[in-house]
Amino acid sequence: MRSSIRHEMPSDEGIFESFSDMVLCTVIVLITLVVVLALNVVEQLNVYIEPNHFSGGATRPWLYIQAQQADYDQTTAAYLSMERAAYGHDPFVMVNLFSPSSANSTTEVKDGQTVSAKEGQSFHGQIDLTAYHFLQLAAGIEPGSFLVDGNQTALMLPKFSHKDVLLESGTENGYITRPDSELALKTMALAWPVYDNKIYSNRAAQDYANARTRIYVEVLDSSDDEHRIMIGHSVFTLPQDIENGRLGWLAGFSSGFTEVIYLGKAWSDPEERTNKRIQFFEDSGFAEAAEAYRKFSFPEYLTYRQKNLFSKLAEIRPDMSHERLASYVRNADAQRKISMAIMNNSSANNSNVHKVLPPLLAHKDAWKAYTEFCIKKEVGTTPPEWLMSEFLVPLGFDQAVVRGLRDS
């Protein structure tokens, strides 16, 4: 038999058909993978986003605050000897910031601790500041404002507390200071001049719908395991300062009109006497702000008056390091000047007051430019996870701001 063998010639059409089948299969597989991934992402997001659940509200933010003038010459406790030496003959304005629960609770002092005077009450604590340290903190807060009868009025409302402050705990008939609401308002106006204007606490929500209170937060670069943040010039450690109540006052800011704004990670180089803020000020043409912030962050010498106080305090506390004592003296001198300015009803625009304000309040244009720069730079980045879990979530600021639903 003779077999017939047929040799088929390769067909271009067959090759193209096979290739298109492969492409089609690949596309189908890719689409399937994309769908699976999308469903997975949606499933994860649903842990945080409920499309039919809404939060916010039209209540304005509150700052629970009080201020009082202390006369350390009236104290006798041995542990206040440095304060008597530093402030004994000068006015001393102190500020207390409360959590809402602390401000509304009846409290008393037992064994040096502030405790509830009524059964069943609990509170989140407070922070006690000199007027100067309050201004350092206030620099990182923008209270917001809106127009009423052609003038700006503050969005953030002060809620004045009226708690007596015992400066000498554990001392029989210890010295007590009395709160003064007018003093608190004058201190606020030194940080935020809008409080020199009339405050309208009762306004329709549409009047302030576009106003915002903003809290600017930076994460500090740290070589240890501590988590630190900076608001203005003030540094807080997390989660400790949430747990001990030092950040409890932020609970009063719980409002749909409050924004906590992450400015990224700050850095500092003491050897070169510079940091993130100084570098920005220099690069952006804010030479005076850069120099003021350098002197604030890396002071080099004491003034004549400060040297005299240093010598006096060194005799009282010979155990204190030179660096810590020098820092105490500088702060005491600034506190004295700020207290005198507040008691004399001085304005933030007063040239003498302007010199002793913390740099971010003295150079607001530079600070505003810095915050805008950081906000743009951080677009698309994610803050550290611990900032959410140790700061934002405990205080209730865990909802991202959604633009477009209402004007910003």
Q: What is the pLDDT of residues 102-112, one digit of tens each?
A: 888 776 666 65
Provide the token pair at 291: 């120099």
Q: What was the pLDDT predicted at 41?
A: 46
DSSP 8: P
Q: Comparing 76 with 20, which gets the higher pLDDT?
A: 76
Q: What was the pLDDT predicted at 169?
A: 77
Is residue 316 exposed (0-12), middle (13-18) or buried (19+ Cβ within 10 Å)? Answer: middle
Q: What was the pLDDT predicted at 263?
A: 96
pLDDT band at 4 (very low <50, low <70, confident <90, very high): very low
CA–CA gap between residue 6 and residue 10 (Å, rounded) = 13
Q: What was the pLDDT predicted at 353?
A: 81
Q: What was the pLDDT predicted at 46?
A: 41
Q: What was the pLDDT predicted at 107?
A: 67
Instruction: Provide the greatest CA pair distance for the chain.
Output: 131
User: Who's near 200: CB < 8 A, 6+ residues apart?
Assistant: 148, 153
Share of the chain above pLDDT 90, in %: 66
Angle of helix 322-343 versus helix 131-138 axis, rounded to 10: 90
Distances (CA, A) of 89 to 9, 20, 86, 199: 110, 92, 8, 34
Torsion of CA 377, 382, 385, 389, to 10 degrees: 90
Which amino acid makes up residue 204? Answer: A
Q: What was the pLDDT predicted at 44?
A: 45
Reduced to 3 states (helix: H, G, I; strand: E, B; else coil), residue 238 is strand
pLDDT band at 13 (very low <50, low <70, confident <90, very high): very low
Is residue 129 exposed (0-12), middle (13-18) or buried (19+ Cβ within 10 Å)? Answer: buried
Q: What was the pLDDT predicted at 33?
A: 62
Nearest Cα neighbor of 130 from 243, 266, 215, 233 is 233
pTM of the predicted model as reported, rounded to 2 decimal places: 0.84
Question: For residues 67 and 190, is the Cβ–Cβ distance under 8 A?
Answer: no
Reduced to 3 states (helix: H, G, I; strand: E, B; else coil), residue 101 is helix
Per the document, the length of the chain is 408
H helix intervals, 129-254: 131-138, 181-191, 240-243
Instruction: Report residue 361 CA to chain centroid gap.
Output: 14
- Asked if the model's pLDDT at residue 203 lies above 60, the reply is yes
Per-residue exposure over 179-214, b if at least 16 CB sit within 10 Å of its own CB, e if not: bbeebbbbbbbbbbebbeeeeeeeeeeeebeebbbb
Q: What was the pLDDT predicted at 19?
A: 52
- Asked if the model's pLDDT at residue 204 lies above 70, the reply is yes
Q: What was the pLDDT predicted at 1?
A: 39
Note the pLDDT tens digit of each residue in 209-227. Answer: 999 999 999 999 877 789 9
Share of the chain above pLDDT 70, in %: 80
Distances (CA, A) of 294 to 141, 149, 358, 376: 21, 41, 12, 24
Note the pLDDT tens digit of each residue in 325-372. Answer: 999 999 999 999 999 999 998 877 777 788 889 999 999 999 999 999
Euclidean distance between the first and the last CA atom of the chain, given in angstroms as a whole number = 93
Q: What was the pLDDT predicted at 347?
A: 78
Angle of helix 181-191 versus helix 131-138 axis, rounded to 10: 50
Average pLDDT, integer, range 119-141: 87
Note the pLDDT tens digit of each residue in 239-289. Answer: 999 999 999 999 999 999 999 999 999 999 999 999 999 999 999 999 999
Question: For residues 357 and 348, is the Cβ–Cβ distance under 8 A?
Answer: yes
Average pLDDT, integer, range 153-165: 95
pLDDT band at 3 (very low <50, low <70, confident <90, very high): very low
Assign 3-class secondary structure to 156-170.
CEEEECCCCEECCCC
Q: What was the pLDDT predicted at 171?
A: 74
Residue the block writes with tokens 């298109």: 20
Q: What was the pLDDT predicted at 381?
A: 86
CB atoms within 10 A of CB 237: 17
Average pLDDT, integer, range 26-45: 55
Question: For residues 220 and 228, is the Cβ–Cβ distance under 8 A?
Answer: yes
Range of lowest pLDDT (60-74, 204-218, 226-240, 347-361): 347-361
Q: What was the pLDDT predicted at 125?
A: 78
